[in-house]
Structure 1
């Protein structure tokens, strides 16, 4: 594999790591950068290129585990977080949150792969998701009732999980949909973001495994270092972006990200028109 191809993997890892936790759609950004510039499908093949975009998200997910390891261990009772209430946030909340997207993801995976991995569909997701985020900021409670993960009920976790299904459409954004849904359901922005990151771990691990199995025959030994470079790049840049985003979301909320999404969509529309 030539160095230019490995450089492309690093670029996609950078895009993934820096956008995974912001409500702007990491998958959408990777599709835009790849389709308009990098063209990895030319040497990976269509199925393998889509699989790569999903698998390198595991690098970002590993960064979540690295940063939030105490909370992760507490989910299975291996760590006691100081100040946790009796109804503490646990693995049951995560399961309730991931079931809807897991079910719909399995049912519609083929359709998503075949019809939704394109710039036009990403533009639609960017715009609709942006308006959903603006609605959340405008109509969410001014004084959120839920300000920590340990105050989330199983019912709230399931409702956020149902809203998360919107992110199956590339460009809508998993964090955008779940943070917006959480805010509308009474969570503050920081708590909604924390829940989003934790739910992403099993969801992306499952999605990556399923995609790898489906397209295994299209992945050959020559692709190995491409995947490794993309994975490591996503991990490193996600570490940089996680803490920055968690501080930022509490201050600026969702609307600035929504404006960016709309502007990006308009730029893409102009580019496609000419």
Structure 2
């Protein structure tokens, strides 16, 4: 029963943080350390439940995903976002992630590396807020192939736990001329192939550590993350338009300081 409660806690954390620029992986590692949910199974669980959040994106942007494959039309757009944009943006982090997968999971999944990522990512958010205020691509359908690739390069930063995939891609989008909403929505959609690929790879490499009795734990986390993410995506888009990125950076700095104090005291 205790494991199920931990799964619900982690699922809530994942759903709340996956699409905000504060690092869902970093929060899961920190919370897992606090509640005693650590080890190889926990690492795989933390990656698996991200699929729950990803499913929320697919549901909310269902028509958009159909349009990527030419199965639906986006009203008023002659050259809407297409599948090639997503492929181009996914290439850099996919290649780097495949090459460095074992190193990242074995060496970088720790509270210390997360704290470094939270601070470094917070600095990037502030820079993007200050310099990324001249949007050329106001909507997601105005993003060019060049911009998609550039956002993909920024996404590579998220391979460091704590840096934040959403934070790196949204910041990158702003710095290369996208508006806040365009950068955020492109980040949401790009998350789907990236996280499906990362989760599939991790599950294949972790099959020997899993068993059928783990299914209730994983399903609980998955369902919780899905429900919470559905609510948080809509809320985050409205919040981002109002407060921009700097408050999220301040939150990251405060969280890092608090957890550093906690680590020094235990």
The aligned counterpart of 1:163 is 154
Pair 1:81 & 2:74 matched: yes
**Which structure 2 residue ranges, 5 or more long, are not aligned?**
none
Runs of 4+ in 1 over 6 A off after TM superposition: none
Q: Matches of residues 1-274 of structure 1 in structure 2 within 5 Å?
A: 3-37=1-35, 39-41=36-38, 46-85=39-78, 87-141=79-133, 143-274=134-265
- Structure 2 distance, partners of 1:219, 1:229, is 16
- Structure 2 distance, partners of 1:70, 1:250, is 23
Aligned length: 265
Q: CA deviation at 1:48?
A: 2.0
- Structure 1 distance, partners of 2:87, 2:97, is 15
**Which structure 1 residue ranges, 5 or more long, are not aligned?**
none
- Structure 1 distance, partners of 2:174, 2:190, is 16
Q: CA deviation at 1:273?
A: 1.4
Question: Is the partner of 1:183 in helix, strand or coil?
Answer: helix
- Structure 1 distance, partners of 2:61, 2:80, is 16
- Structure 2 distance, partners of 1:149, 1:179, is 12
Tell me the TM-score normalized by structure 1: 0.95
Provide Cα deviations, 1:217-265, integer angstroms capped at 9, x if missing partner.
Answer: 1101111100000000000000110100011111111000000000000
Q: CA deviation at 1:138?
A: 0.6
Q: CA deviation at 1:52?
A: 0.7
Provide Cα deviations, 1:15-49, integer angstroms capped at 9, x if missing partner.
Answer: 00011111000000000000122x223xxxx3221
